[in-house]
Structure 1
Amino acid sequence: MADIDVSGGDSGHKKGPGVKKAKKLSTRVDMTPMVDLGFLLITFFIFTTTMSTPTTMGLIMPKDEKNPKDLTEVKESGALTILLGKNDLVYYYMGQIKPDGSNFQSTTFKEVRKIIQDKKKEVMANYTPSPLDENIKNKAREAGDPNWQNAAKDKDFVVVIKPNEDATYKNTVDILDEMTINDVKRFAIVDITEDENKLIHATEPK
């Protein structure tokens, strides 16, 4: 509400010498009602806004297939196995683990992206065309993949993810995010073996 200050003013309209001029009217805006309205609006939106509900990510694990015919065949040259341990540590090896564990290496989440990218580039560089590639390209084109012509080049690239008992859910989600970021089309979470777990415990800092 605006208050009109008329103090000191002359309500007359006299003119001539010796007659003082009337002071100009001044206005003062009272902001109190606006402040009250602001708090009312804040309170209104607090009570009418729906609080965001926690969301969860569904994770479908592969079946434990016993029939060899139902198992997915993976080329050793295109396989990258990533193992998750405690303290945000990551371990990996290419192809099959060697008996002496010489190809078992450790890294961090900061470096794992480059490892995935380098392995993917290696597999794509060694790509050999096959009659089934056209089906892969057609599916990629129908799905709207702008790079559908190269969709078959990484068909042999597979990432196997193996968290052990000390790995956190955060690390598992982070490594799944890396699959999306690096456009890894074939990956799976499987159980870690006893020998792999022993290598992790032998390698991790005490």
Structure 2
Amino acid sequence: MAELDTSGGGKKGGGKVRTKKMSTRVDLTAMVDLAFLLITFFMLTTTLSKPQAMDLAMPDKEKTDEQQLTIADNRTMTILLGSGNRLEWYMGLVDKQLTPPTVEGYGKNGIRKAILDKSKEVVGITGDPKKGLIVLIKPSDKSNYRNLVDILDEMKISNVQTYAIVDISDPEIELLTRDGIYK
């Protein structure tokens, strides 16, 4: 049982004799019980943060070469995920690049700005908002999971409708090595 003793203590120096105060005893058991009941109530009624998930459609591995679509090079942006939270992007194919490879970081002043600029360019070239930018995301073995999640977040923020996660090729690894982001 918990209790609080508020007695006055013993005789303090001096010659006066004082009347002895009776100690007041406060029983704290009920307050402790109430505290545990409230803690239990709030723990059971509180909703914990729910994990957020992003839907991701992966390409069909069963498709043959005849079933795959041919896409114009000027609509295709390739993003190579390297080490050190850096990435490299270019337009077109690795052997026929329409823009020189550019090393960027993540965020609004990095890859997001490039994606938004290229999206506007592609819509201007095609004249059809449905034929917008297509992004190929190619993570390297030196990139980490956070980099992949960050670039998927950038796709969502930039409102890119068509993107795919694709295996990286040897010429692209050489490109990352040349620019020093494959360590």
- Normalised by the length of structure 2, the TM-score is 0.69
Corresponding residue for residue 105 of structure 1: 102
Q: CA, structure 1 residues 78+99, in 2 after alignment: closer, same or farther (shift >3 Å)?
A: closer
Contact 2:105 2:111 in 1 (8 A): yes
Contact 1:65 1:71 in 2 (8 A): no
Q: Which has the larger share of helix?
A: 1
Following the alignment from structure 2 to structure 1, what is the Cα–Cα distance between the partners of residues 174 and 143?
A: 14
- The percent identity for this pair of structures is 41
Q: CA, structure 1 residues 55+181, in 2 after alignment: closer, same or farther (shift >3 Å)?
A: closer
1:190 aligns with 2:131: no
Pick one of 140, 153, 157 that aligns with 2:129.
153
Query: Which deviations, in whole Å up to 9, do the C-alpha atoms of 1:133-181 show, x marking residues without a partner?
Result: xxxxxxxxxxxxxxxxxxx425141011000111111111111111111
Over alpha carbons, which structure has the higher Rg? 1
Give 5+ residue unaligned stretches, structure 1: 1-29, 129-151
More displaced stretch, 38-47 vs 177-186: 38-47
Number of residues of Structure 1 aligned to a counterpart in Structure 2: 154
CA RMSD in angstroms, aligned pairs only: 3.1
Contact 2:77 2:92 in 1 (8 A): yes
> SS at the partner of 1:68?
coil
- Normalised by the length of structure 1, the TM-score is 0.62
Pick one of 48, 59, 64 that aligns with 1:62.
59
Structure 2 counterparts to residues 124-143 of structure 1, below 5 A: 124-128=123-127
Q: CA, structure 1 residues 175+46, in 2 after alignment: closer, same or farther (shift >3 Å)?
A: same
Corresponding residue for residue 19 of structure 1: none
> SS at the partner of 1:197?
helix
Give 5+ residue unaligned stretches, structure 2: 1-25
